[in-house]
Chains A and B, each alone.
Chain A
Amino acid sequence: MTQLRRDPIVGRWIIMEDESPWAPKDFAVQPHTYEETTQCPFCPGNERMTPPEITAVRPDKSAANTPGWRVRVVPNKFPALQIEGRLDRHGEGLYDRTNGIGADEVIIETPDHAKDLPDLTYDEVRLVLETYAQRSADLQKDKRFKYMMLFRNYGFAAGASLNHHHAQLIALPMIPKNVIEELAGAAVYFGYRGRCIFCDILRQEEEESERILEKNDAFIAFCPYVSRFPFEIWIVPREHKDFFCKSSPQELEALAHILKDTLGRMKRTLNDPAYNFIIHTSPNDAREHPEYHWHIEIMPRISRIAGLEWGTGLYVVPTPPEVAARYLKETKTT
């Protein structure tokens, strides 16, 4: 038998297999490396292959666009959006369009070509997270940008196009649809109950505890009750806060620990799958968002998304989060 579960935030329904759930070995993991024919533009010594850097962590005070950096931020050489210009909205018959104004930055998280985030030390991950927060806060000052989308694609099936792992930060000139829905769902809950729905989710998850993977003073990592993907994981700060970029240094330190451990656990359990993670935060609309609570969503790309999911937004999840959490917890972190 399966069951249907409804996401309390956006109202999405999920079909969940609860009789014969899939184990990690039941998913075919695609290989996800590229043949490398040219030099890697993200490796030290090849700094000239990228546009000039926006910022970098350089403990040795080395010059910009030279080796010596630990984390380096550059504009995307093939940007989805362009930074210069004014937003120009117009109609075309019954359609609406605007020009593609925005920012598209690449955060190179390590000079080491072969390392993924959980392969770094806690301290190195903290430097990466500080860079994420600093770039988000900086772009937030530009009022043309309504939303900062920070995400990471690991592996071919997750949309990565280079072997040297990195994150992307895209500043959008409008609030994307999924975010509007998430905010609207959270606002309805907040309006009715006067409480944040994410705080309530954390409370319920802690009480039931079967889906929790890791906890520390500032964060909880768990498989959400209404996962869209098998082995989906959320990392949510305990303290209610609307923006990721408002995180304190202590919080980023705690996040470095839980993120490294959780990603490492997930990778070991699922045999190094392709995955995405996305930081969900409030939009840059000159307001506070008491109804919203920033968090990270991690999605291993091991199940196939096909006609049903595209057509209806109805996802079929072959491993319930309770079972996924059990497998993940059985795996050692190091």
Chain B
Amino acid sequence: MPELRRDPIIGRWVIIAVERARRPKGMRISPSAAGEKECPFCEGKEGMTPQEIFAIRREGTAANTRGWQVRVVPSRTPFLKIEGEITHRGKGLYDVINGVGAHEVIVETPQHIENIADLDEVQIAKGITCWIHRFLDLARDERFKYVQIFKNYGSPSGEATTGHARSQLIATPITPKRIKEELRGAKRYFDYHERCVFCDIIRQETETDKRVVAEADGFIALAPYASRFPFETWILPKEHGCDFSHMSVENRLYLGRMIKKIIGKLKNGLDDPPYSFVLHTAPFRHPKAKAGYWKTIEDDYHWHLEIIPRLTHTAGFEWGTGFYICPIAPEEAARYLREVEGP
């Protein structure tokens, strides 16, 4: 019997169509895209990208030359541009803002390695340090409300031209809708229970132990109860915190280790599928912002990373309803991933 499950945070309903469950191999849509001939993200090709914004590099090496370990550059095809004032205007009943924002690429390794699972945890942690560095820098810009850090790997998930491991960052002058919904959901739960909903989820999942994919120092990985996609996995810090940029140096290493483990399991268990991951963290809390807008956010929100393997095509039904049909129950997905060898 299929069942419907509600995400306790934003109220999204999901159909878990257990009886339609297919073998993981049967769900693949197409192989990952092959790399371009000349990769602009490889060491020695620094001239092919716009000027670097930030890099972790060997002492004594100059910007835009060899010697870096992780490198942040503006996107060659930015969705949003960094210069200019933000202007709001109306057009009849519509609202428009000019496209001011930041769009940066975090190159996670100087070598041409495609999957983050093939980097070592120390290298992944350096990428995380770049995220934090860029996040804190953009937080000082009062034009921006939110920074979205995300990664697309493999073709169907939207990877642009080459396969070189990298993540992206977008700073926006608005707080995006899904983020707002999640924040409101967490606040609503907190207002009623005076507890963080994510902490409660971690507690319940640890107790029932049906959907835990991995647990290690600092972090836990879960197949969420109301998964929208087959093998959807969330990585949450065990210690409560609303803002990922406050993460300790030690935790960056632990997060690197957990990312490597989970993505490695997806790679080994699901035949190197395309995937996306998205970092969810608290929006900027500028002192100028409306008083009390996110008053209890420090207590009610819990940053985390959502990983979505792209194994199915989302069809008309999902678009129209915001209601997902997930062909495998998260308990099954977690059991399968637990048994798969990590990297």
Contact = CB atoms under 8 A, between A and B. Distances in A.
A170 B99 contact: no
A249 interface: no
Interface stretch (A47-55, A94-102, A121-129): A94-102
B313 interface: yes
B158 A305 contact: yes
Nearest to B92: A204
Contacts of B248: none
A51 B12 CA distance: 31
B322 interface: yes
A299 interface: yes
Contacts of A286: none
B2 to A, nearest CB: 3
A316 interface: yes
B310 to A, nearest CB: 8
Interface string B151-187: 1100011110000000010101110111101000000
A313 interface: yes
B80 A2 contact: yes
Given A168-B317, A204-B92, 18 more contacts: A2-B98, A15-B99, A95-B6, A99-B3, A100-B3, A149-B321, A159-B317, A176-B322, A177-B11, A177-B321, A179-B321, A278-B316, A299-B319, A305-B314, A306-B159, A308-B278, A311-B176, A311-B279
Given A82-B1, A152-B316, A200-B93, A307 B150 contact: yes
A276 B316 contact: yes
A100 B96 contact: no
Contact of A311 (B93, B150, B208): B150
Interface in B262-306: 276-280, 306
A80 B325 contact: yes
A168 B320 CA distance: 12
Contact of A153 (B5, B6, B316): B316
A81 B98 CA distance: 44
A159 B314 contact: yes
B322 A3 contact: no
Interface residues of A, number: 72
6 contacts: A1-B81, A10-B177, A159-B315, A276-B319, A307-B152, A307-B157
A283 to B, nearest CB: 11
B197 interface: yes
B316 A159 contact: yes
Contact of A4 (B96, B312, B318, B323): B96
B13 A176 contact: yes
B177 A316 contact: no
Given A3-B97, A179-B321, A312 B176 contact: yes
B148 interface: yes
Interface string B90-114: 0111111111000000000000000
Contacts of A311: 148, 150, 176, 178-179, 276, 278-280, 306
A100 B4 contact: yes
Given A4-B99, A5-B96, A95 B321 contact: no
The 6 closest A-B pairs by CB, nearest first: A159-B315, A306-B158, A311-B278, A2-B99, A276-B316, A312-B176
Interface string B312-341: 111111111111010000000000000000
Contacts of A99: 1-4
Given A93-B208, A94-B197, A178 B93 contact: no
B200 interface: yes
Contacts of A263: none
Contacts of A197: 93
A226 B96 CA distance: 10
B177 A12 contact: yes
A316 B148 CA distance: 14
Best-surrounded residue of B93, B179, B225 (most CB of chain A within 10 A): B93
A208 B323 CA distance: 34
B94 to A, nearest CB: 5
Contacts of B157: 304, 306-307
Interface string A73-116: 00000111110000000001111111110000000000000000
B13 A312 contact: no
A156 to B, nearest CB: 7
A225 interface: yes
Contacts of B277: 307
B280 to A, nearest CB: 7
A158 B29 CA distance: 12
B95 A8 contact: yes
A1 B322 contact: no
B172 A80 contact: no
Given A2-B80, A81-B2, A158-B316, A312 B93 contact: no
A225 B96 CA distance: 10
A98 B93 contact: no
A151 interface: yes
A236 interface: no
Interface string B196-214: 0100110010001000000
Of the candidates B146, B176, B201, the one having the most CB atoms from chain A within 10 angstroms of its own CB is B176
Given A80-B325, A177-B323, A8 B2 contact: no
B17 interface: yes
Contacts of B2: 79-82, 99-100
A93 B177 contact: no
Contacts of A299: 316, 319
B15 to A, nearest CB: 5
A100 B93 contact: no
A200 B276 CA distance: 38
Contacts of B80: 2, 15
B278 to A, nearest CB: 3
B72 interface: no
Contacts of B204: 93-95
Nearest to B325: A80
Interface in A157-193: 157-160, 168, 170, 172-174, 176-179, 181
